[in-house]
Chain A
Amino acid sequence: MSEELVTITVDGREIQAPKGAMLIEVTDKANIKVPRFCYHQKLSVAANCRMCLVEVEKAPKALPACATPVMEGMVVHTQSAAAKAAQHSVMEFLLINHPLDCPICDQGGECELQDVAMGYGNDVSQYVEGKRVVLDKNIGPLITTELTRCIHCTRCVRFGEEIAGIRELGMTSRGENARIATCVEQTVASEMSGNVIDLCPVGALTAKPSRFAARAWEMMQHASVAPHDCVGSNLFVHTLRGEVIRVVPRDNEAINEAWISDRDRFSYEGIYSEDRLTSPMIKQKDEWKVVDWDEALKFAADGIKSVLTQLEQAEIQDDTQSESEDSGEVVNKTNPADKIAALVSPNSTLEELYLAQKLLRSLGSGNIDHRLRQSDFSDQDAAPTMPWLGQNIEDLEKLNAALLIGSNVRKQQPIIAHRLRKATLNNAAHISFVNPRVYDFHFPVASNIAVAQQQLSAELALIAAAAFKASANDVPDHLKKALSGLKPKVEHKAMVSQLKEGENTTVLLGDLANMHPDFSVLRVLAEAIATQTNSVFGYLTEAANTAGAWLAGAVPHRGPAAATEDVVQGSVFAEQNPDAVLLLNVEPDADMVNSQAMIETLQQASRVIAITAFDSAALRDTASVMLPAATFAETSGSYVNAEGFWQSFKGVCQPSGEARPGWKILRVLGNLLDQQGFDYVSSDEVRDELRSQCENIELDNTLNNAATIKINGAAAELMRCGDVPMYSGDALLRRASSLQQTQDAQVICVRLNAAEASRLGVAESDSVLVKQGNSSAQLSLVIDDSIPTGSAWIPMAVKGNELLGDAFGEIMVEKV
């Protein structure tokens, strides 16, 4: 659109508008109301509902405002007799086949058709014949169709094609028989499909989980922030009498535009799952018993105190022993508090994370971590203050080329994938992937490399070698050995030249890279590729508050705001042998890279304090006290998204039962343990305390003092690999019942490609024996040629995962 301005007159008002803009955009901006159904500012113009007809002087008939470009001197009347007559006729026409039974329609009260009919409809229709009836289609567990109500605006069809990138819905037949259909009754399987519910101007597409649950005027609307991915989509939570009824997007052009993912829309169902822990419980003589808060908190605090006292006594004994022996050797004194550890979910709020680390550190232990699914910590000292996207989310759509490493961005961060898709549509951007399996994307992919996870770093090294060759820079010492003698292939060179030649380019590490056992190697190589091609280096962090967890100091080696001086440091969980463990929103059977090892460690600890919203068999097995915590929408707090943007939100409803916000539980624990500085009265105070420490932080993903890397060569013939399925990432999602009925919800199985299966002598749908170390499980086998040879693909975080060990470890698959 050119910048040239033209002057038009609408209803007697002179308006300046960019030449070529559609009339409806101009009137919308000038706050002049023109009724419409099919027009939507984020979708292409269809001009098929005709509701926006207006009178334009010198035009023989009324023109649709959505499809009429403005021209110099145009004189428009939106309220003239001719315009109104046209609008009234269209309204009558649209109502011919639309049922007039608003009281029994779920959309009633928030229906665009209802509203516009109030303004433009007649009391009585001239049409007395029978109305058409269209059979409803079952398009999955998230959306209910009531196709008789459809007015054929095709917003949902255009959304599928233009935004979701999948043509799933379409309009079949014609004339009176025209109807919205999926091809042959398929489930709509887009990760953003729920947006058609908001787009539908009538009650033809409504949200299945919240259907008939409340009327628009009964609900309260509260602003909130999505609690799952690193985007931090803005939400409105709708509540009825203190319960969340549904979640809809809150427009924010800089983050989620007008959309949210299905995950963010429907995960609220988990809040009301049967597993919800509604009162504090303690374990006495292997029996769980419900107690009041005072008793539970005292039990928890006493647990920590007794562990500390025991350890101190043991220490004194050790000291006296060594003194009496008088060996003269310096005994390496361990800090007794090192026997205390905390694991915190990266979906916890900033306030919870900050208080958890503050509590641990004031007790003298630095053993706190949010990196539950990470297994390579070797370069943690070189890591940036906060791993972040390296750019604004909005800027992603300006990219010309991008390389994503270990990322299924479409399912893990649907909103970011949408921005990348826009880049491919607007700039013909070259988006490439290096992944441990082939993923499908809804945009053209320049190069989709898939190698077994044990070869991922070697593959990336080839691209890095090509990058150094292209830039003609010297290979720095720490990479020299790894990159010498490598012969990049054509596709590696092509990726590099796309990154090098593009104006806006980026290299992003996805969540699979972060979980990978060679994460440090992948990171060094990715950064080198970015530097050599002048690309922005960034991370697609795993959870809603992964970035925030780094700032809050929920890592063992750094305090809040990445401070290292005067900070109690600890070690990573795998190296510990803790006696008391604090779990914050963590489920040991699903949230760890090696759930089995985690469960074993917890079983050996004498006290495990679980602050959790949900009761589960794994927690009952491992914990000694469960403190019921508030979930998403029930607690106030803040998240920091991948672009480093702080977003605070309020609790919008009372926590279920006796549950309490996590930050309050941690505050009281701090008080009961006689620690100073736990007298906060609001979560805002906690946030502000952290915020003031973070004031001078500049975000920078540069690696400091990267270590010499070694590309791992020979690994076992078959290695396990798997991602966290879209609807399994956290405890809330795993209990969101409608999402769990979708095609994207996964049950545990093992996937092999055909060649690997025949090598192992197993066949499709066989039940196979899967062994990892001492553990084994019988899983069903799926032949899937998107899995590279050398990989056995088993999803993480799904039921059954706890039977096996390291999600990226050696594995054996045998015929039963």
Chain B
Amino acid sequence: MNTTDTQLSKQSCAEIDALLAKFPAEGRKSALLGALNVVQHENKGFLTEDLMDAVARHLDLAKIEVYEVASFYSMYELKPVARHNVAVCTNISCMLMGSQSIVNHVENKLGIKLGESTADGRIYLKIEEECLAACAGGPMMQVDHVYHENLTPEKVDEILDGLE
């Protein structure tokens, strides 16, 4: 192992080891999703190649295995993003309830497109690929792991303005 390799923080290692304890010894790969969550959270919401390599070493996996998982799931960001993660659901139920107008409103308000971050590094507008499983409350969006349902443009303004 090269000494210049990025190391995981002690805190991350402890959290990942706690995750590993939940799985049988031969199933270290099972802890991968959780481990990437931990590392992404600590790294301001996105993963880097170095961090993924570090996770691979910690879990004793091939680098490409980590890469496959990180690139497959939309919850992992592989490029630097702004500090608040805003994801408007555009799946079928929300779409029927007018999510497109919410997306348009947010894009106009922030001056960015889906998949971009604001220049001040405050808000990242994620392309949400999957249904967020809150169909009864559509249109909805997720802001930093918190669900906001039955959105209107006014409600969206209030939520976004409240973000630091």
A residues neighboring B (CB under 8 Å): 166-174, 181-184
For B147, the chain A residues whose CB sits under 8 A away are none
CB B3 to nearest CB in A, in angstroms, measures 11
Given the known inter-chain contacts A181-B67, A183-B67, A184-B49, please indicate yes or no for A167 contacting B62, CB distance below 8 A.
yes
Nearest B residue to A161, CB-CB: B62
CB B113 to nearest CB in A, in angstroms, measures 18
For B72, the chain A residues whose CB sits under 8 A away are 172-174
For A166, the chain B residues whose CB sits under 8 A away are 62
Q: Is the interface of B mostly helix, strand, loop or mixed?
A: helix
Interface presence of B83 (CB below 8 A):
no
A172 to B63, CA, bound (A): 12
The answer to whether B68 touches A171 (Cβ under 8 A) is yes
CB A767 to nearest CB in B, in angstroms, measures 23
Nearest 3 interchain pairs by C-beta: A167-B62, A170-B64, A172-B71
CB A718 to nearest CB in B, in angstroms, measures 25
A167 to B65, CA, bound (A): 8
A453 to B119, CA, bound (A): 62
CB A806 to nearest CB in B, in angstroms, measures 34
The answer to whether A172 touches B62 (Cβ under 8 A) is no
Can you list 26 A-B contacts with CB-CB less than 8 angstroms, sorted by A residue number? A166-B62, A167-B62, A167-B63, A167-B64, A167-B65, A168-B62, A168-B64, A169-B64, A170-B62, A170-B67, A170-B68, A171-B68, A172-B64, A172-B67, A173-B72, A174-B72, A181-B64, A181-B67, A182-B64, A183-B49, A183-B62, A183-B63, A183-B64, A184-B49, A184-B63, A184-B67
For A169, the chain B residues whose CB sits under 8 A away are 64
For A173, the chain B residues whose CB sits under 8 A away are 71-72
Most chain B beta-carbon neighbours within 10 Å: one of A168, A169, A174:
A174
Nearest B residue to A182, CB-CB: B64
Nearest A residue to B66, CB-CB: A183
A181 to B68, CA, bound (A): 9
For B62, the chain A residues whose CB sits under 8 A away are 166-168, 170, 183
CB B45 to nearest CB in A, in angstroms, measures 19
A166 to B64, CA, bound (A): 10
Instruction: Tell me the number of A-to-B contacts counted with CB atoms below 8 Å.
Output: 34
The answer to whether A170 touches B49 (Cβ under 8 A) is no
A167 to B49, CA, bound (A): 17
A168 to B49, CA, bound (A): 15
A236 to B6, CA, bound (A): 46
One digit per residue, 1 when the CB lies within 8 angstroms of any chain A CB and 0 when it does not, for chain B 64-91 equals 1101100110000000000000000000
A173 to B65, CA, bound (A): 12
For B63, the chain A residues whose CB sits under 8 A away are 167, 183-184
Most chain B beta-carbon neighbours within 10 Å: one of A166, A167, A181:
A167
Nearest A residue to B67, CB-CB: A183
B residues neighboring A (CB under 8 Å): 49, 62-65, 67-68, 71-72
CB A174 to nearest CB in B, in angstroms, measures 5
CB B59 to nearest CB in A, in angstroms, measures 13
CB B161 to nearest CB in A, in angstroms, measures 34
A410 to B126, CA, bound (A): 46
Nearest A residue to B61, CB-CB: A167
Other A-B pairs, 8, CB within 8 Å; known A170-B67, A174-B71, A184-B67: A167-B63, A172-B72, A173-B72, A181-B67, A183-B49, A183-B63, A183-B67, A184-B63
A173 to B68, CA, bound (A): 7
For A184, the chain B residues whose CB sits under 8 A away are 49, 63, 67
A174 to B62, CA, bound (A): 19
A413 to B62, CA, bound (A): 24
CB A157 to nearest CB in B, in angstroms, measures 8
The answer to whether B68 touches A172 (Cβ under 8 A) is yes
Nearest B residue to A168, CB-CB: B64
Most chain A beta-carbon neighbours within 10 Å: one of B49, B64, B72:
B64
A171 to B62, CA, bound (A): 13
For B71, the chain A residues whose CB sits under 8 A away are 172-174
CB A764 to nearest CB in B, in angstroms, measures 12
CB B57 to nearest CB in A, in angstroms, measures 13
CB A100 to nearest CB in B, in angstroms, measures 28
CB A707 to nearest CB in B, in angstroms, measures 45
Most chain B beta-carbon neighbours within 10 Å: one of A169, A170, A173, A181:
A170
CB A445 to nearest CB in B, in angstroms, measures 15
For B64, the chain A residues whose CB sits under 8 A away are 167-170, 172, 181-183
For A182, the chain B residues whose CB sits under 8 A away are 64
A170 to B62, CA, bound (A): 10
A182 to B72, CA, bound (A): 15
A181 to B72, CA, bound (A): 13
For B49, the chain A residues whose CB sits under 8 A away are 183-184
A184 to B64, CA, bound (A): 9
For B68, the chain A residues whose CB sits under 8 A away are 170-172
CB A161 to nearest CB in B, in angstroms, measures 8
A172 to B68, CA, bound (A): 4
A794 to B63, CA, bound (A): 31
CB A441 to nearest CB in B, in angstroms, measures 15
A171 to B71, CA, bound (A): 9
Nearest A residue to B68, CB-CB: A170
Nearest B residue to A174, CB-CB: B72
A174 to B130, CA, bound (A): 13
For A181, the chain B residues whose CB sits under 8 A away are 64, 67
A169 to B68, CA, bound (A): 10
A182 to B62, CA, bound (A): 11
Nearest B residue to A178, CB-CB: B72
A424 to B32, CA, bound (A): 25
CB B1 to nearest CB in A, in angstroms, measures 10
Nearest A residue to B65, CB-CB: A167
A169 to B62, CA, bound (A): 10
Nearest B residue to A166, CB-CB: B62
For A167, the chain B residues whose CB sits under 8 A away are 62-65
Nearest B residue to A169, CB-CB: B64
CB B14 to nearest CB in A, in angstroms, measures 26
Nearest B residue to A177, CB-CB: B71
Nearest B residue to A184, CB-CB: B49
CB A297 to nearest CB in B, in angstroms, measures 57
CB B29 to nearest CB in A, in angstroms, measures 11
A494 to B71, CA, bound (A): 43
CB A564 to nearest CB in B, in angstroms, measures 54
CB A783 to nearest CB in B, in angstroms, measures 11
Nearest A residue to B49, CB-CB: A184
CB A385 to nearest CB in B, in angstroms, measures 45
A427 to B68, CA, bound (A): 30
A574 to B49, CA, bound (A): 55
A298 to B54, CA, bound (A): 68
For B65, the chain A residues whose CB sits under 8 A away are 167, 170
A168 to B71, CA, bound (A): 16
For A168, the chain B residues whose CB sits under 8 A away are 62, 64
A171 to B65, CA, bound (A): 9
A87 to B123, CA, bound (A): 47
Nearest A residue to B63, CB-CB: A183
A174 to B67, CA, bound (A): 12
A140 to B148, CA, bound (A): 49
A182 to B71, CA, bound (A): 13
CB A184 to nearest CB in B, in angstroms, measures 6
Nearest A residue to B53, CB-CB: A183
A695 to B66, CA, bound (A): 57
A798 to B64, CA, bound (A): 33
CB B27 to nearest CB in A, in angstroms, measures 16
CB B164 to nearest CB in A, in angstroms, measures 32
Nearest B residue to A175, CB-CB: B129
Nearest A residue to B71, CB-CB: A172
A173 to B71, CA, bound (A): 5
For B67, the chain A residues whose CB sits under 8 A away are 170, 172, 181, 183-184
A728 to B1, CA, bound (A): 27
CB A42 to nearest CB in B, in angstroms, measures 20
A577 to B139, CA, bound (A): 94
CB A709 to nearest CB in B, in angstroms, measures 39
CB B76 to nearest CB in A, in angstroms, measures 11
A170 to B49, CA, bound (A): 15
A418 to B65, CA, bound (A): 22
Nearest B residue to A170, CB-CB: B64
Nearest B residue to A171, CB-CB: B68
